[in-house]
Amino acid sequence: MTDENERPTPEDDAARLGLVVVGEAAALHAGDDGALDASEENIRETIDSMVDEPLTPRQEEVVEQLAAAGGTLTAGLSGALASKTGGKVEDVLAGAARSVVWQQRLAAERAAVQPEGGHGVGSERSDHGEREDAGGQQRRRDGDGRDEA
């Protein structure tokens, strides 16, 4: 991610949050109360380390619930994907974690070669005017909104 002396970029923070969400999903799949408690504590510590000023109790609760909801969605989707493909949930979640790290590295590489005053990494556009994503999951659509062949 970044050196201790550098301020984390938004992409670094997003990667950390993404990994927290994957951790929450893994804890949910484990079904272990200790793992869930540790994951919830990890959410709190991660958020606390990212904010410049303390959050109000309400803001803190909302952010924690958003992270937990992301974990719940990730758990459900990874379970469904594992079931559909005959794979293991753990493998799907490990792949999700690798994707988060890969996306952060891609963002850092783009930022390193981007000229000053350029667009932010999150606004990178392909030659077709579409946002690029790390997993290449975008689909090209024709004028009628159908997937192109």
Coil/strand/helix, residue 1: coil
Can you tell me the distance from the alpha carbon of 107 to that of 109, in angstroms, rounded to the nearest whole number? 5
CA 99 and chain centroid, separation: 8
**113: in domain:** yes
User: Looking at the domain assignment, is residue 34 inside a domain?
Assistant: yes
Give the chain's domain count.
Answer: 1
Residue 56 inside a domain? The answer is yes
Quick: pLDDT tens for 42-94: 998 998 888 888 889 999 899 999 999 999 999 999 999 999 999 999 999 99
Of the candidates 66, 63, 46, 67, the residue with the CA atom closest to the CA atom of residue 55: 63
Structure tokens at 86: 């005959």
The three-state secondary structure class of 131 is strand
| Structural domain contains residue 86 | yes
Question: Residue 125, Cβ neighbours under 10 Å: how many?
Answer: 10
In a domain, 132, yes or no: no
Domain that holds residue 115: 10-123
Which residues on adjacent β-strands are paired with residue 141? 147
User: Residue 101: CA atoms inside 13 Å, Cβ hemisphere, count?
Assistant: 7
Gap between the Cα atoms of 43 and 16, Å rounded: 10
Tens of pLDDT, residues 11-41: 899 999 999 999 999 999 998 999 999 999 9
87-143 pLDDT, tens per residue? 999 999 999 999 999 998 998 888 888 765 555 544 444 444 444 555 544 445 566
Distance of alpha carbon 16 from alpha carbon 111, whole angstroms = 18
Pick left, alpha or beta for residue 117 (phi over 0 → left; psi -120 to 50 → alpha; otherwise beta): left
Q: Are 8 and 1 in contact (CB under 8 A)?
A: yes
Is 71 among the domain residues?
Answer: yes
Task: Say what the pTM is.
Answer: 0.70
Q: Answer whether residue 85 is part of any domain.
A: yes
59, part of any domain: yes
